[in-house]
Amino acid sequence: MTLQDTFAPEARKRPAVAVVRMPVRRMSIKRLFIGGRPADLGRLPRYVGIFLLGSAAIWAPITGYLRTAPLTYSSHMSLILPGSGASASVTLNDIGQASSFASSAFASNAISPTETYKRLLGAGRILKDAADRHGVDWRAFGAPKIRLVDQTAFIHVEMTGPTPEDARNRNSALLDAFFDEIDRLRADELSTREDGGLAALRDYQGSVAGTRDGIAALQKSTGLYSVDQYSRQVDELDALRAQVDQLSTEMQRAEGSVTRLESRLGTDAGKAALILRVNADSTYLALLEAMSAAASDLADARSRYGARHPKVTGAQSAHDEARAEASARVAQITGNRIGLERVSDGGRADLLTDLVRQEAQRTGIAAQLAEATAQLATETARLDALAPAAARLEDMQRDFDVAEAVFASAIARTQSSKADIYASYPLVQVLEDPTLAEDPTSPKRKLAVAAGIAASVMLFMALMLGWLRKPLIEKLLVKTGT
């Protein structure tokens, strides 16, 4: 007894039935490409199997990705570069003018500050600094995703992390490292500029010191301390020359007056002074009175008596004696330089007095003229000797003023350039602080599911086209006339 007889005893009781075998259809290459009839449901298992295998191929990696991929969160921040420039100008009395100008960051088409900062945000040293600030290895810190908005000054930065707080902290660390690096670059630029300008400042300072030493040596050797001093001395010399001319004119006028009076009085000024001096002596005047009385008595005696009469000779003796005494008095006073003369009338006395006064004035003017002439000659010779030194001093003073102005302007420009810290690295501001993510950015579950559904739909559509390919191909063949 066989197993079939044991488990199916009823089969022996049934009459034998003839088994009809279906003919096995062999797959041909033509049918592979053209397909079968749409109503042939025998093809359905193959299409279902292919759909199941394709769906498995589609959803298996998606499911594995969603199950195994770690969650990743993103933090965003935005930076902006203001587009306006800044300028300042300072005028310093007796020094010069210092100006500072920071052009707009977007004034030049050759350089893009946003592109520069984009490269700087992704620089290795900034990422290492940010990783150190965050406390992780720089390889695990990750690189930021930087996006520039066209036709704007915005820079968007994205950093990822395993948690929302970690992503925000990474973005904050990157921002701090970026600003510190910008400050360091600006300070290094200012230091380099300042060091480069120190050599020029030393040259300017040496030029100023050398010119000042030359001026001091020239002042010490000549006694001329400034060009203004020489100009004042020249003005004084001109005034002295004018004074000499004026004294010469007054001298000529005084000499003319004295000459006219001497001619009118018949005596010179010296004798006129002696006459006035003698006529001011009371003894002399008394002797003249006695001589006048004796002359009166002599004339009276001569009119009465003969020449040898005792009265005539006695009057003559008295007159001669009075005259001799008067002459002796004149000799005592003047030294016999004038004769006997009495100026009792006021007109002659006034003229003699005027002559003596004008002679004194002439003498004084002559003395002033001589002194002024001698001083003029001395000052003229001294200023002639100082003229080359004054010209040299003026040139040296001009050189000193120029050197000092250049030196002061260089210092002012150096100091004012320290305020222009945005010349090479424009001002950048935080428009949006690092954000705290609410949802993970990776894995993107909705996107993965949508992609799986889309792939499944496309697979189903492909199978549908494969199921209906025969009528479609036949229809196309009929249209083309094949």
Check if the beta carbon of residue 37 is closer than 8 Å to that of residue 472.
no
User: What confidence category does residue 175 fall into, taking pLDDT thresholds of 50, 70 and 90?
Assistant: very high
What amino acid is encoded at 16 in this protein?
A
Q: What is the pLDDT of residue 348?
A: 65
Name the more confident of 18 and 63: 63
Residue 165: enclosing H or E segment and its boundaries?
Answer: helix 164-222
Are 144 and 179 spatial neighbours (Cβ–Cβ below 8 Å)?
A: no
Q: Residue 341: phi, psi to the nearest 5?
A: -155, 135
Lowest mean pLDDT of 53-57, 115-119, 226-230, name the range. 226-230
Mean pLDDT of the chain: 76
Q: Using the predicted structure, report yes or no on whether residue 113 has a pLDDT greater than 70.
A: yes
Percent of the chain beyond pLDDT 70?
68
pLDDT band at 22 (very low <50, low <70, confident <90, very high): very low
pLDDT band of 168, cuts 50, 70, 90: very high
CA distance linking residue 326 with residue 121, whole number of Å: 131
* Top-confidence residue, 310 or 175: 175
Band of pLDDT at residue 176, cut at 50, 70 and 90: very high
Q: Is the pLDDT of residue 156 over 90?
A: yes
- What's the CA gap between 37 and 43, in Å, rounded? 9
Per-residue confidence (pLDDT) for residue 6, from 0 to 100: 40
Query: Using one digit for the tens of pLDDT, what is the confidence trace for 286-299?
Result: 666 666 676 776 67
How far from 381 is each of 234, 378, 387, CA to CA, in Å?
Answer: 12, 5, 10
Is the peptide bond preceding residue 443 cis, with omega within 30 degrees of 0? yes
Residue/partner pairs of 60-66 with CB below 8 Å, 24 or more apart: 62/448, 62/449, 62/451, 62/452, 65/443, 65/448, 66/443, 66/445, 66/448
Q: Cα dist. 36→29, 158, 460 in Å?
A: 12, 55, 18
Q: Do the Cβ atoms of 219 and 212 come closer than 8 Å? A: no
Question: Of 132 and 356, which is predicted with more confidence?
Answer: 132
**Strand runs labelled E in 49-174:** 73-80, 86-92, 96-102, 145-148, 154-161
Give the tokens for residue 471.
């009528």
Work out the pLDDT band at 79, boundaries 50, 70, 90: very high
| Distance from C-alpha of 39 to C-alpha of 47, rounded to nearest angstrom | 14
Name the more confident of 198 and 126. 126
pLDDT at 362 (0 to 100)? 81
Output the DSSP codes for 91-109.
Answer: EETTTEEEEEEE--TTS-S
**Within a 10 A sphere around the Cβ of 480, how many other Cβ atoms?**
7
> Among all chains, which residue has been given the structure tokens 């009495």?
342
Burial 256-275 (b: 16+ CB within 10 A, else e): ebbeebbeebebebebbbbb
Distance CA 88, CA 419 (A): 9
Cβ pair 337, 272 in contact under 8 A = no
Cα(211)–Cα(395) distance, integer angstroms: 10
25-52: per-residue pLDDT in tens?
Answer: 455 565 555 666 777 777 788 888 889 9
pLDDT value of position 40:
74
Q: How far apart are the first and last CA of the chain?
A: 64
Q: What's at 469, amino acid-wise?
A: R
**Rounded-to-integer distance, Cα 58 and Cα 45, Å:** 20
69 pLDDT tier (thresholds 50, 70, 90): confident
Q: For residue 82, what is the DSSP state? A: -
